[in-house]
A and B are shown apart, each in its own frame.
Chain A
Amino acid sequence: MKRLLLRVFFVLALPAVLVAGWWVASDSSTDVYWPPLRTILKTFPDVWTADRLQDDVLPSVLRLTGGYALAAVVGVTLGTVIGSYRRVRAVCEPVLEFLRAVPPPVLVPVIMLFAGIGDTMKVTVIASGCVWPILLNTVEGVRAVDSVMAETARSYGITGTARLRNVVLRSASPQIFAGLRQALSIGIILMVISEMFAASNGLGFTIVQFQRGFAIPDMWTGILLLGLLGFLLSVVFQLVERRVLGWYHGLRASTRRSP
């Protein structure tokens, strides 16, 4: 009981201090750009009403989900193919290295040429930025499949889809998840940027509207909401990862315990 309380204390103490600090420091602020936290929090429910959440936040999240899912499917599929064949890998490697090195946001103007400024453009931008970390991590993961395990599977006659699912992808999954995690933060960045460029709704669009209209407290609530969204998505990701990679973390813990 005491340990639990101590843990709760450690989790909550610093955030409480920081928020309190912000509250007190900004309380009598007359600076236009740094409104008191009190005002920001009071504005929050007025700005982010149910309607607005539905009109602006939901489309953003849907685009992100679409682009991210597309990137995951393409990245894992291509990565498995490239990782499985040594020659294919040798041919593709320099091109992939170059494409990965392009900063994803510069794709926004390029893709705008093809896809206009609609949802297609945004989903494509998100997918084309997210795909590289997933693809390259899958390649590495598939390459690093334990050769003894692969041989064993072969001698037991495990081939085709069963081999792919139970041996190759299973043993590459920690790496794949590392890639997915990197892709998530890139995806959020691209979601916001593509909406800042050309959009009629979405979180990025709304926040820039507030900033251009000098609705500073409203802009701050948008920044806070983006922060909350980023945090929420990373929590969801962690939950999924813990479920899917449970066997792996368990394995690591048990090997660590028994030297």
Chain B
Amino acid sequence: MRGVNAALGAAGLAAFLALGEAVPRLGLVKDDYFPPTSRIADALGDELGDGAFWSALGDTLTGWALGLVIAACAGIVVGVVISVVPYLREATASTIEFLRPIPSVALIPLAVLLYGTELRSVLLLVVYASFWQVLIQTLYGVQDLDPVADETARSYGLGTWARIRHVLWPTALPYVMTGVRLAAAVALILAVTAELVIGAPGLGARIAVAQTSQAVPDMYALVVVTGLLGLLINVGARSVERRALAWHQSVRGEVMV
């Protein structure tokens, strides 16, 4: 079954690439705008041999990773504190609901003024955007706490810290992991956006340069690279999630039987 699906998927991918080759070759669209797959692949090969490409990739990944780590730590800490301290959740609900939908790109002009094209402007946008994903998921996760388990821990005389560590954290972890996975995708989007619009060094800035210098195949090649990067991040986040929660699914499985 898996084999058939994989074969069908490969066929789909091949058809997609072949279509990309055939449509411009047949003159259905201008190949200035939409170069055939082979020329994009050529450009991609050139990029891979270029040192500047690798340093741009490194810049993008630095901004992404640093921003994600800061946002995840801040989101988890704030989320746990808000849910554990009495009344804090009610008091912060309206503010969170108000701040969350504010589009992070609104901060672009501010970031430009404050930090120019430094890494810090990228971080400002990335952290703001991914923080909410983690925070909201953490809040949901903590809310899912089983009252019986909590009462049991209390009656065994566990302190606040031990209860957070042994009761609350395992309950919230699956939610937090989902939040981090979502945040990883959002962080990549915002890192590339910041580079594209502000001009901070990275893949986004390279795309902007390729666009203004009419290097169309290179532009497509770089877009493909960002897509592959996004794919890699998704797959990576999923496998981290599966590994970190292995105990969780196995425990659930035993209970079911």
Contact = CB atoms under 8 A, between A and B. Distances in A.
Interface of A: 10-15, 18, 33, 87, 90-95, 97-110, 112-114, 185, 188-189, 192-193, 196-197, 204, 207-208, 210-211, 216, 219, 222-223, 226-227, 230-231, 233-234
A97 B92 CA distance: 36
Nearest to A197: B197
A103 B94 contact: no
Given A11-B93, A105-B189, A230-B101, A94 B12 contact: yes
A217 B4 CA distance: 61
B90 A10 contact: yes
B38 to A, nearest CB: 18
B103 interface: yes
Indicate the member of A109, A110, A223 with the most B CB atoms within 10 Å: A109
19 contacts: A91-B9, A91-B12, A93-B9, A97-B231, A98-B13, A101-B228, A103-B226, A106-B196, A107-B223, A108-B196, A109-B207, A113-B33, A114-B33, A114-B34, A188-B101, A188-B103, A207-B109, A222-B109, A223-B107
A234 B101 contact: yes
B251 interface: no
Contacts of A97: 231, 234
A197 B216 CA distance: 17
Contacts of B101: 185, 188, 230-231, 233-234
A33 B113 contact: yes
A14 B92 CA distance: 6
Contacts of A100: 230
A105 B13 contact: no
A49 to B, nearest CB: 20
Interface of B: 4-5, 8-13, 15-16, 33-34, 87, 90-95, 97-110, 112-114, 185, 188-189, 192-193, 196-197, 204, 207-208, 210-211, 216, 219-220, 222-223, 226-231, 233-234
Contact of B231 (A14, A18, A101, A233): A101
Given A94-B12, A192-B103, A222-B109, 15 more contacts: A15-B95, A94-B10, A94-B13, A101-B231, A105-B193, A107-B223, A109-B196, A113-B211, A185-B101, A188-B103, A193-B197, A207-B109, A208-B108, A223-B106, A223-B109
A198 to B, nearest CB: 11
Given A13-B91, A90-B9, A103 B33 contact: no
Contact of A103 (B4, B95, B193): B193
A168 B197 CA distance: 41
A222 B105 CA distance: 12
B98 A231 contact: yes
Contacts of A103: 188-189, 192-193, 226, 230
Contacts of A15: 94-95, 98
Closest 4 pairs between A and B when the two form their complex, measured CB to CB: A101-B230, A211-B109, A91-B12, A90-B8
Given A33-B114, A208-B109, A211-B113, A106 B8 contact: no
